[in-house]
Amino acid sequence: MTGPEAGEPTGRWGQAAVLAVCVLLALVPWFSAAAVAPSIGAAWGISPLQTALLTVAVQLGFAVGALALAVTGAVDVVAPRILVAGGALLAAAANAAFGLVADDLVTALPLRALSGAGIAAVYPVALKVLAGWFRRDRGLAVGILIGAITLGSALPHLLRAGGTVAGLDWRPVVVAGTLPCLLAALVAWIGVREGPLSVPAARFSLRMAREALRERSVQLANVGYLGHMWELYAMWTWVPAFLAASLAAMASVLGGERKAAMARELTKTFETIRRDTLAALAARFAEEPPPKGEIVVLVGPPEARAPAGEDVDALLAELLEAHSVREAATEAAAKTGLPRRELYARALALKGTDGDGPA
């Protein structure tokens, strides 16, 4: 073969499709709890912050699982189809147990962490396998896999929508997220194969890790990736709780009658704008399911209140010490919003003169 495809492994796009399907299906448990968080919070009597821990536990389990794979070098010893299938089965089992038997945070958090650990054997391993199939177009292939990750993370919300229509409790919705994971394990067992361009990874070394982390480019890459992960995953669970708490705090500090607006997905298909007082918005978002998408909160200015007569007289008296009647009236009008002619007449009365010209 000649041309741009020369030397490229045969069947690489088929393998990319297999890996994308595995990742898409196996990522469902990641947000299976976040999708039904309000229902879990109401059933268990826990706060939004405690509910968010159900997703945080997945992140921690994922980090521990990925680190364990790196330290042990299992990726270079165990066949990738076994790792990916085994990880998907672990995530599926932990997710099913969470939906069936967990009844508080004590029993739920370890199971959520196990789901994260199982996913650590799917998504990072799939990326490594994918790199072994591509010399050219590797960036495009990785982009496809990342797209599968995002779609898989969003699938629990589709399951929740279906459960809402069917009038189901949160538990069947969570358990339903186990089925895609089981299918991912089957697809991985049958279809995932090591690529001909794959090379063994270097063994994990703390000394090399320390040296790498001293490099500014590595530091910046890690900070950027952490920010990306915070945006992509943590914010999806944290922002709804933050929005409700922020509206309640603003109502407390600025006054519940202060006008405000909450805009979601501006300029997009599902644009939504709600206008009300801060107290009413806070009450609404404390009761409703958390909103999704980009959210902007605008708070209106406080209502102008006419100052008391004695306050106006005190202001005019202070201004008259350094200004003419006309200048004092003009400046007082700017500060109070009252008509200038009215203030000019009051200034005249305070000064006891005929004024200094037309008002």
Each residue's pLDDT tens digit, 203-244:
667 777 788 778 888 888 888 877 777 766 666 666 777 777
0.85 surpassed by pTM: no
Q: Does residue 5 register a pLDDT over 70?
A: no
In the predicted model, what is the mean pLDDT of residues 11-29?
A: 94
pLDDT category, 174, cuts 50, 70, 90? very high
- Residue with the two structure tokens 């203030």: 343
For residues 159 and 173, the answer to whether their CB atoms sit within 8 Å is yes
pLDDT of residue 231: 67
Average pLDDT estimate for 44-54: 87
Average pLDDT over residues 143-153: 90
Return mean pLDDT, the chain. 85
Residue 328 predicted with pLDDT over 50:
yes
Least confident of 198-202, 259-263, 265-269, 323-327: 198-202
Q: Which two tokens stand for residue 336?
A: 């109070």
Q: How far is CA 109 from CA 105, 136, 280, 352, in A?
A: 6, 42, 34, 78
